[in-house]
Amino acid sequence: MSSSRLLPVFMLLMLLIGCAETFDATTLGVPATVAVPAGQQVEGSRFSVTQRSVYGLWGVATIKSPSLRKALAAQLAGGSAIVGLKIKARSRWSDVLITALTAGLIVPRSVTFEGIVTK
Distances (CA, A) of 28 to 40, 74, 97: 24, 12, 34
Q: Does 1 have pLDDT greater than 60?
A: no
Mean pLDDT of the chain: 78
113 exposure class (CB count in 10 Å sphere: 0-12, 13-18, 19+): buried
Considering the entire predicted model, what is its pTM?
0.69
Give tens-digit pLDDT for 20-47. Answer: 666 666 666 676 777 777 777 778 878 8
